[in-house]
Chain A
Amino acid sequence: MNVPPLPEAPEDEAAAAPAPATRRAARLLPQPRMGGLMPWVIAILIALVVIAASGGLVLRNLADNARADLAAAVTVQVIEPNPDLRAARGAEVVAVLQAMTLVRAVRLVPEGELAALLEPWLGTAATSGDVPIPVLVDVELVRRASPAEIAKLAAALEGTVPGARVDAQSDWLRPVYRALAALQWLALGLIGLVALATAAAVWLASRNALGQARETVEILHLLGGTDRQITRIFLGTVLREASFGAAVGTGLGLAAVWLLGQQFAALDSGMAGGGGLGMADWLVIAAVPVIGVLLALATARMTIALALKDML
C-alpha cells in the first residue's frame, strides 16, 4: 500500500520554529467576533470622551483667556459726593496713573457712559444728578500684574488722591473661575469613568468571545499553538472592532462639539469668545481614539492572557 508523501520535517523543527507572524497567525482561524455591540459601545464611549475632553479644554482656555485679560487691567473708583471735587480728583487719578511705568493706557469713563450703564437699574435717577455717581477710570496695564504690584499701585493712588479705590477686575470673577475649575475637574472625572467603562466593555466582550471559541482554542493548544499565537488572533479582532468604534465615536463627538460651538458662537458673548480650541487642543482630542484603541488592546490582552492561563 502506498504511503503519502509526508512533508520533510527535521526532528526538532517544530519545536525550534518561531511563533508565526501576525499575518500567518490570522490565517489559522477566521477572525472571531467580539460581540456585535462592542464597536458601538466603544463608539458611544469615545464620543462621550471627545465631548468631555473638548468641553474641558474649552473651559480651560476660556478661564485662561479671561484671567489673562482681567489680570492686566484694574478699575479705579473715586467716591466723592461733591461733583466738582469728584471731577478734580478724577483728573488727579489719571495724572498719577499716567506717570506709572506699569500703566499702558488710562481712560476716564465719561459721565454719560456711566449714566447709560446705570440707567437700567436706576432709571432717570442716574441722570438726574441726585444720585452721586463715582468717577470710574479704566486702567490697562503693560502686563499681567501680580497681587503685590496691584497693592503697590493702590497704595500709591490712595495715598495721593483721597477717596480713590482700586479694584483688580480679576477679583470680581474669582467665583466664576472656581466654577470653571470645578467643571474642568468634572470633565476629567467623566473621562476617567468612561475609560473604566471602556475597559469593562472590552473585558466582557473578550471573555465572551473567548468563551465562544473555547473549543477551538483548546484544539489550537493541543496542536501546539502558543498563547501568543492565540492572543494575536483575538487582538486582531479587538484592533479592528475598537478602531471602527473609535473612528465612529470620534466623528460623533466632533459633530456634537461643532454643533455646540455654533450655539455658543451665536451668543456673541465676550467670555464665550475666549473659549476656542488651539492646535495643541486638537492634538489632545485626536489622541482620544488612539488612546481608546490602545486601552481596548491592553484590556483584551490582559483578559485573554488570564483566561488562557486557566487552560493547560
Chain B
Amino acid sequence: MNDRLDGHVKFDNVGLRYGTDAEVLSNLSFTLYPGSFYFLTGASGAGKTSLLKLLYLAQRPSRGAIRMFGQDLMTMPRTRLPDLRRRLGVVFQNFRLVPHLTAFDNVALPLRLAGADEARVVKAVSDMLEWVGLAHRAQAIPATLSGGEQQRVAIARAVIARPKMLIADEPTGNVDPEMALKLLRLFEALNNRVGTTVVVATHDVHLLKKVPDSLIMRLNKGQLSDPTGALRYPPRPSSAPGASSGGEGGA
C-alpha cells in the first residue's frame, strides 16, 4: 500500500466503548496523511484521549477497521504491535515517565528498546536534553522534576527516535508560553524536515494559530464534527490531502 496515497492511518467507521458502557467514540472515518500536521480539539470528555489511545495502539476499537502504515490493525497479532509502536512517538497526557529511571534513561528508552548502539544513545539523549534545557537535570528522577520539566522529558522521549508519526496529548499544558512555542517548533521541524505526521490534541485555541499549515479535527461527544473541514485553520491549500471525517471523503 502507498502511504502517500492511502495515508499513514485510516479509520473506517470506528467505534470504541469501554466494557458495556455507551460508545465514547462513534463512527469515526478519516485518514491521516504522511507529513501532515493535525490538531485534535474538543471539549473535555469529547473523546480526544480515547482517539489518541487508538492511534498510539493502547486500545483496540470495539468495531470498525483501522489501517496503520499499510497494515490492518484488526487482524494483526499482538506480537507485531511493537514494530508499529516503534514508528510512533507519544507524549502522554500525564507524561507516563518511568518513575525509577532518570530523565536521561527515560529519554533513552525508545532507542534502547529498538536496540540502538549505546554510544549513539548517549550522544542523542545528551543533545536532546540540552535542547529542551534539561542537561543539568539528566540524572534527576521524575519525582524531583517540576511538571514542566517532566513534560519536556516526555516530549524529548517521544521525538528522540524520529518517529514516523508523533501523537501528543496536551503537550504544552504545563510549560510556559516561550517553552510551548519552542516545543511546537520542534514538532514543526519534525513535520517539515523529517516528514513526521503530527497529531496534537489541545484545548488551546491560540496554539492552532501558531502552525499555519495545520489541519484541524474537532471531536464532539465522540464524533468528528467537522465533516467539511470548515474549521480548519487556516484554509487548507487545495492540492494537499488532509483529514476527512464522518465518511464524507476528503476534508
Chain A residues engaging chain B, CB cutoff 8 angstroms: 1-7, 9, 11-15, 17-20, 24, 27-30, 215-216, 218-227, 229, 309, 312
Contacts and interface: CB of A to CB of B under 8 A. Distances in A.
B111 interface: yes
Contacts of B109: 28, 219-220, 223
B113 A3 contact: no
B182 A216 contact: no
B162 A227 contact: no
A11 B162 CA distance: 8
A29 B101 contact: yes
Most buried by B among A4, A5, A15, A227: A4
B112 A6 contact: no
A30 B157 CA distance: 18
Interface in B67-118: 78-79, 81-88, 90, 96-101, 105, 109-116, 118
A246 to B, nearest CB: 27
Nearest to A219: B96
A4 B131 contact: yes
A13 B113 contact: no
Interface in B169-206: 181-182, 185-186, 189-190, 193-194
Nearest to B192: A3
Contacts of B157: 223
13 contacts: A4-B131, A5-B124, A7-B120, A7-B160, A14-B86, A15-B86, A17-B115, A20-B113, A29-B100, A216-B99, A223-B113, A223-B157, A224-B88
A5 B131 CA distance: 8
Contact of B185 (A1, A13, A17, A225): A1
Contacts of B83: 14-15, 224
B50 to A, nearest CB: 14
Most buried by A among B84, B114, B123, B131: B114
Interface stretch (B53-61, B211-219, B239-247): B53-61
